[in-house]
Structure 1
Amino acid sequence: MPHSLSSTRQDWAARLGEGRLVETLPGLMASVFNLCSQAHRLCSSLAIEAAAPGLLAAPQQVAERLRLETAQEHVRRIGLDWPRLLGVTGDQDQDVMASAVVLRGCPLLAPNTGKRWADTARWLHQTWLGMPASDWLTAWAVDGVDWLRTWSAQHGSGVHGLGLATLLRDARGADSGEVLDPGAALRVHAAPEQMRLLGSTLVSTPLFALQPQWGGGCAHTGSWARLNAPEEATPLTPWAQLGCRLAELVRLCLPGEGQGAGWLAWGALATGSNQGLAWVEMARGLLVHHVVLDGACARVVACRVLAPTEWNFHPIGVVAQRVSRLDGYTPDALRQLRLLMAAFDPCVPFECGAQLDARRETVHA
């Protein structure tokens, strides 16, 4: 480190948002970050509402809209990225195509029929889980990664095994066994005073949006670090993190307290005169927007976006540290790398290559 991982991502929000008419900012953010456009549109609107209440129409049904986009993104990444990154058949393109055919039947990706969530829970039962979604989630809540291991072994065995269970069963062999530090999980949005400090840091330190650190070190964020998730959860390796994503998808599809639209946290607060900060938990972790408006609240003076990718893929962050410890540019190391990228999900394409020196070989992601 810090040469094991490098990013070409730029601070587009700051460059493109400055000077814009306030009412055009949410749409602009949704266009720039179009993979999770709904989360960015909502977060931008919430930040503007905090900075200047009543200036624009306040966003409606925030929790339900976050629920829908997060669940849709989980389905797409599980169905399209996991076969490509985790498959061991040697024909990942065929695996992805077969999975894409299955996804066509997912009610989450079809026009709303009024029974979207119940239909999706039924679809999960029939296509990916092989059992009622509520039963699967109950077992995960009790046994965590032990349940994931048991389920993937039972349902991924034999020629008739479910595709997802088989994929996870086979991917387990690439797991490094290295556990996430629970103390580094990003839960800054649990305390308003911490969020105000985060907002002031975003304003005073321009590069912070691209290389953030908190509490004197790097943090990680994802479906395992939700405010509503128990902090004493099972120690998580990269393979277990896949289980967290699947479990969250199931949880978002089910009704009940702490599930469905009540699972993901979001909020906003004023950080100064004509300044507002907002945050939402979205597919890849915690998303933060901060805006500063001019005196008439007509134009944007400054706009900052702090996305999950910048936390997880910091040059000396958790992924970079693990990449730097990979054992050369070998097939086993590449399998570990692909599992790592599936677990943390950078939301953008990545390339890996080798650079040799006299001492060692280093993998770059």
Structure 2
Amino acid sequence: MSDPAGRLNIQLRRTPHGFACDIGSTRPVAASGLFCGRSPAETASLLPLLYSICAKAQASACVGALERACGMDSDPEARRLRQVQVAAETVREHLWRILLDWPVLSGEEPDRQAMIGAQSLVKRIFGAADPNGVLLSPGCEKPTSFRSVLEEAASTLADLMAERVLGLAPDAWMERVETIDAFDDWCRSVETPAARLLVGLRDSGDGRLGHTEASPLPDLDDGTLAAELRGTDAATFVARPCWGGAPRETTPLTRHADSALVSALVADQGRGILARLGAQILETVSLLRAIRTGELDGDSTAPSDAVLPAGVGLGRAEAARGLLVHLAEVDRGRVVEYRILAPTEWNFHPDGVLASALATLPDAEETILRRRVQLLVMAIDPCVAFDLVIP
């Protein structure tokens, strides 16, 4: 049976000049066409069922697009609480990698018990942010939330991360680990699978592998994005997006490129595996603190000042893998066009950041090479499973 979310097929080929990479995808990038002819309410209800991976980010971007297309005022508190849910979902997605996938690549057992606990706490955050189940419906007004329950669940999740990942409180980690020396000291002073993986990458030199020149996705205003997503080449754009004639990157590394820690890691290790994994930890810690302290205000998902055509709306969410964009066009109470531009299509473009990173790998015995490829794929992080072929 085929995977409804699709898969990536990654093939690495040896050439006289090094490796070449071919990336194929069966992701259903045109599935959003199923919303055409439906009402906005029906679309918002159906979307999380079709897009179960990062469902909160998908639903948040969807409802933002539909509200704007229908001329509904976007409630600031609703935007903030949606952002809380997306942040908690991102924490869960990163912890899935850190607790389950990272240990395996170091020859250790995945920490399933910790992940079960993390999933339960994230569900509590979801429920506390939206106890009435109306937050992700277009036009939600005066949403209710249980702030004390939300803060308690986020604090407990921070404690779990302190015990199973960081070896110290997340806030203390953020204050202490800002330089390459501090990062080294931290990795070598705590006994967690995550720290051991990072130490191993640093000591072996593999942390530098996959370095590519920066090509981050620039800030794009709503009007510019909407024009691309409604243009004659829109179907090609969402399947293999390029900007300025080139594929771009949208990942935790690009989101936190200006932070002290990521800047230090890139300066020392390049934009390779170690910097990318460090950015994932930093983002997880940062979002946990933002959820606990109420720093999320919904401003990043507020409609921009760009004037869009009547009936057209754009919604955004900073999902775990990068920027997620939805476009909805509504006419006479029915969706007539719907497009989704997902971060996986940017980052796993056939000529994108992963392909460029894999092409830089040195040749090696197959077991070593396969592990390095898996590390790089995990560090850039697709939202779907992948098959790896090395002839």
Which category of TM-score, normalised to the shorter sequence, fits these structures? 0.7 to 0.9
SS at match of 1:31: helix
Deviation of 1:330 (Å): 1.8
Q: Report percent identity of matched pairs.
A: 27
Q: What is aligned with 1:318?
A: 353
**Mapping of residues 145-184 of structure 1, within 5 Å:** 145-155=180-190, 161-172=191-202, 173=204, 174-182=206-214, 184=215
Secondary structure, in 3 states, of the residue corresponding to 1:287? Answer: strand
Q: Is 2:345 the counterpart of 1:344?
A: no
Tell me the distance in 2 between the aligned counterparts of 1:259 and 1:152: 29
TM-superposed CA distance for 1:164, in Å, is 2.1
TM-score relative to the length of structure 2 = 0.76
1:60-139 equivalence runs, <5 A: 60=79, 61-84=81-104, 86-87=105-106, 89=107, 95-96=109-110, 99-106=111-118, 108-109=121-122, 111-112=124-125, 113-114=149-150, 115-139=152-176
Q: 1:200 to 1:146 in 2, by over 3 A?
A: farther
Shift of the alpha carbon at 1:37?
Answer: 0.4
2:100 alignment partner AA: L
**Partner in structure 2 of residue 16 of structure 1:** 34
Deviation at 1:249, TM superposition (A): 0.9
Q: How far does residue 48 in structure 1 lie from its aligned partner after superposition? A: 0.9
Structure 1: gaps of 5 or more residues? 156-160, 356-365
Deviation at 1:180, TM superposition (A): 4.3
One-letter code of the match for 2:88? L
Question: Cα offset for 1:274?
Answer: 0.4
Residues 1:131 and 1:318: Cα distance change in structure 2 (over 3 Å): same
Structure 1 residues 153-232: aligned runs within 5 Å: 153-155=188-190, 161-172=191-202, 173=204, 174-182=206-214, 184-189=215-220, 192=221, 195-204=222-231, 205=233, 206-226=235-255, 229-230=258-259
Residue 310 of structure 1 deviates from its aligned partner by 0.4
Identify the residue that residue 43 of structure 1 maps to in structure 2: 61
Is structure 2 residue 326 aligned with structure 1 residue 289? yes
Residues matched between the structures, number: 333
Q: Is the 8 A contact 2:241 2:345 kept in 1?
A: yes
1:322–1:237 Cα change, 3 Å: closer
The change in CA–CA distance for 1:126 and 1:56 in structure 2 (over 3 A counts) is closer
Counterpart Cα distance in 1 of 2:364 and 2:209: 18
Instruction: Say if 1:252 and 1:263, in contact at 8 Å, map to a contact too.
Output: no
Determine the C-alpha separation between the residues in 1 that align with 2:249 and 2:293. Answer: 22
Structure 2 vs 1, CA of residues 271 and 291 (structure 1 numbering), >3 Å: closer, same or farther? same
Contact 1:21 1:299 (8 Å CA) reproduced: yes
Residue 302 (structure 1) aligns with: 337
Instruction: Assess if the C-alpha contact under 8 Å between 2:69 and 2:310 holds in 1.
Output: yes
1:210-257, Cα deviation, whole Å (9 max, x unpaired) = 100112211111122238955993323222111111111111112599
Select the structure with the greater relative contact order (CA < 8 A; seq sep ≥ 6): 2
Q: 1:72 corresponds to which letter in structure 2?
A: R
Say if 1:260 and 1:83 are closer, same or farther in 2 by CA, change over 3 A.
Answer: farther
Cα distance in 1 for partners of 2:73, 2:290 equals: 34
1:209, 1:273 → 2: CA distance?
22
8 A Cα contact 1:221 1:311, kept in partner: yes
Matched letter for residue 188 of structure 1: D
- Give the conservation status (yes or no) of the 8 Å contact 1:5–1:320: yes
Aligned-partner Cα distance in 2 for 1:274–1:312 = 30
Rounded to whole Å, the distance in 2 between the matches of 1:230 and 1:13 is 37
Distance change (3 Å), C-alpha of 1:16 and 1:7: same
1:9 deviates by 1.3
- One-letter code of the match for 1:179? H
- In structure 2, stretches of 5+ residues that fail to align are 1-18, 126-148
